[in-house]
Structure 1
């Protein structure tokens, strides 16, 4: 490559005069900055006389490509010859693509980047120029590419459509039985649950194949080969046969089935009685204190005034877990000396489960309390009556199977007039407490 002197002087680098004792001096300044903005000079202006020309041409300079890594430096007159061989100097591409390429990069350029280079597609094996190869690489039908469905397979571009339609494990395919779409690799799992999947009757009846979702109904109502137990199996009938034999059995054994059911009903009655007894024992009060709630006071009082001797009885309760069994009774319209004017209240001793272990006669003190339901609890004034049993009275002896009809208590517990003066009746409800003194412990 031929350059004019003006081109050289724009990029010349002059080494400093190096002292033989100073080998680590900084590189000399270049002439590039000096001549960058200067007008192009003529040969006569640069070399006004032969001595100056000789001096300049004998100056030591660096190669203009020293920044690219060229280590050459020598007299200026030798620079032209050096540039003709410098590997960092740019020369026209030998393929005539028009690019100026440093000699050191020419091989790579001709092999990889030159638009006029000849190259072969690694997939289809066809030859292309460099420029056409770049356009071909993204469309070569033989190039392996990953499936767009992310199944993990690589197939040639020309086979991709066929792969996605018929081979891809992630393609959507319809179930041939229910017509719903599923990913191909999950179809087998779906078939194990598909309601329309054909299955055989396990009893090998004349219905050979049916949909899975119809199998239960078939076995319950239609399968002629199903071994079925008699409907009276729980009652004790041991017959078992197919549907037709079972129907015949039921028609011919009505009397026997009725006998079995009567036996079952009898057993269930005994069980119900036993459960009721156990339930009543669980619900019994063993605290020795009964809070008795009397609802619908007005209607019950009106009924007591029209019906002579109308008695209300409380739930039974025990003085302790293994103690006496008691029951309170109430006459809203009075009894005996309190009839028509007072409420009468009594306590009865009932036959209990542990009477044989208790001390007789009954000797615990008993108190009755009518609660004042005042809205201000501090101002409430309850009515309380109590007594200590007389051991000579038959009411407190060990009761027989038929308890005393009346018991012992207070015929004139509280008058009807007194009930109106305070809040003994509120929202048509009355509360009476019956309490047995726990200080006297039974002897067991």
Structure 2
């Protein structure tokens, strides 16, 4: 190998100088280059099946890979991105332990209402909020008084809600999303005797 020779493919002509006859000589790269080359075509490390140049892997893993993980801001668990994608917006309520549990009446039996707020200008059209209401079943374990043994991460008490509250298609039909934000109101009807 010649000193100072460039690394990689080197085109050269035959000894007759004919342009049509060409061969490529591959020179070995620097030690350790193989397996680290940013131009090398590799498969995604998350096993999503995508193949790309190694230098594009970080961006793919961060924002494009359907097998990337997304941490939940509430429970700190990580979920695979393609398992949390769906065709609908879902809403849930879950009873968690708190400092004032001994002052409340159990089981939790108060009416719960979820509303997706229409952000259309009310002077142009009447807002069409999407609303669902339910009364908890007092026999269901998810609405019993949380005990010390029941942690906030206990998967046996996942709560109650609507996995198909509204379709993504219906969300786009009105101004439910405005400035890249949605507003969901969750209200609990509390009896007067607790308020007084």
TM-score (normalizing by structure 1): 0.25
- Does residue 348 (structure 1) correspond to residue 94 (structure 2)? The answer is yes
Match of 2:173 in 1: 421
Alpha-carbon separation, structure 2, partners of 1:352 and 1:362: 13
Verify the 8 A CA contact 1:361 1:398 in the aligned structure 2. Answer: yes
Please, which of 156, 162, 174 is the counterpart of residue 410 of structure 1?
Answer: 162
- Does residue 379 (structure 1) correspond to residue 126 (structure 2)? The answer is yes
Q: How far is the alpha carbon of 1:312 from its aligned partner?
A: 5.4
Provide runs of 4+ in structure 1 moved above 2 Å: 305-313, 332-335, 403-406, 438-444
Alpha-carbon separation, structure 2, partners of 1:417 and 1:429: 16
Alpha-carbon separation, structure 2, partners of 1:394 and 1:415: 29
Match of 1:400 in 2: 147
Match of 1:390 in 2: 137
- Does residue 434 (structure 1) correspond to residue 180 (structure 2)? The answer is no
Q: How far is the alpha carbon of 1:439 from its aligned partner?
A: 3.5
Superposition pairs for residues 35-50 of structure 1, below 5 Å? Answer: none
Superposition pairs for residues 157-306 of structure 1, below 5 Å? Answer: none
User: Structure 1 334/369 Cα, relative in aligned 2: closer, same or farther at 3 Å?
Assistant: farther
Query: What secondary structure sits across from 2:177 in the alignment?
Result: coil
Greater relative CO, 1 or 2 (CA 8 Å, sep 6+) = 2
Query: What secondary structure sits across from 1:435 in the alignment?
Result: strand
Q: How far is the alpha carbon of 1:306 from its aligned partner?
A: 5.3
Q: How far is the alpha carbon of 1:398 from its aligned partner?
A: 0.8
Verify the 8 A CA contact 2:67 2:82 in the aligned structure 1. Answer: no
- Does residue 357 (structure 1) correspond to residue 109 (structure 2)? The answer is no
Q: Which one has a larger percent strand, Structure 1 or Structure 2?
A: 2
Superposition pairs for residues 47-58 of structure 1, below 5 Å? Answer: none
Q: How far is the alpha carbon of 1:362 from its aligned partner?
A: 0.4
TM-score (normalizing by structure 2): 0.52
Q: How far is the alpha carbon of 1:386 from its aligned partner?
A: 1.3
Supply the RMSD in Å over aligned alpha carbons: 3.3
| Count of residues in correspondence between the two structures | 122
Alpha-carbon separation, structure 1, partners of 2:116 and 2:82: 16
User: Structure 1 334/425 Cα, relative in aligned 2: closer, same or farther at 3 Å?
Assistant: farther
Verify the 8 A CA contact 1:334 1:342 in the aligned structure 2. Answer: no
Alpha-carbon separation, structure 2, partners of 1:306 and 1:419: 26
Alpha-carbon separation, structure 2, partners of 1:395 and 1:409: 12
Verify the 8 A CA contact 2:97 2:147 in the aligned structure 1. Answer: yes
Superposition pairs for residues 77-116 of structure 1, below 5 Å? Answer: none
Alpha-carbon separation, structure 1, partners of 2:159 and 2:130: 20
Larger Rg: 1
Query: What secondary structure sits across from 1:410 in the alignment?
Result: strand
Alpha-carbon separation, structure 2, partners of 1:438 and 1:420: 33
Q: Which one has a larger percent helix, Structure 1 or Structure 2?
A: 1
Alpha-carbon separation, structure 1, partners of 2:70 and 2:171: 20
Q: How far is the alpha carbon of 1:440 from its aligned partner?
A: 6.1
Query: What secondary structure sits across from 2:99 in the alignment?
Result: coil
Alpha-carbon separation, structure 2, partners of 1:333 and 1:440: 45
Q: How far is the alpha carbon of 1:348 from its aligned partner?
A: 1.3
Alpha-carbon separation, structure 1, partners of 2:136 and 2:93: 11
User: Structure 1 385/349 Cα, relative in aligned 2: closer, same or farther at 3 Å?
Assistant: same
Q: How far is the alpha carbon of 1:376 from its aligned partner?
A: 2.8
> How big is each residue's C-alpha offset from its partner over 1:260-302, in whole Å with a ceiling of 9 and x where there is no partner?
xxxxxxxxxxxxxxxxxxxxxxxxxxxxxxxxxxxxxxxxxx8
Runs of at least 5 residues in structure 2 that lack an aligned partner in the other structure: 1-62, 75-80
User: Structure 1 414/307 Cα, relative in aligned 2: closer, same or farther at 3 Å?
Assistant: farther
Match of 1:229 in 2: none
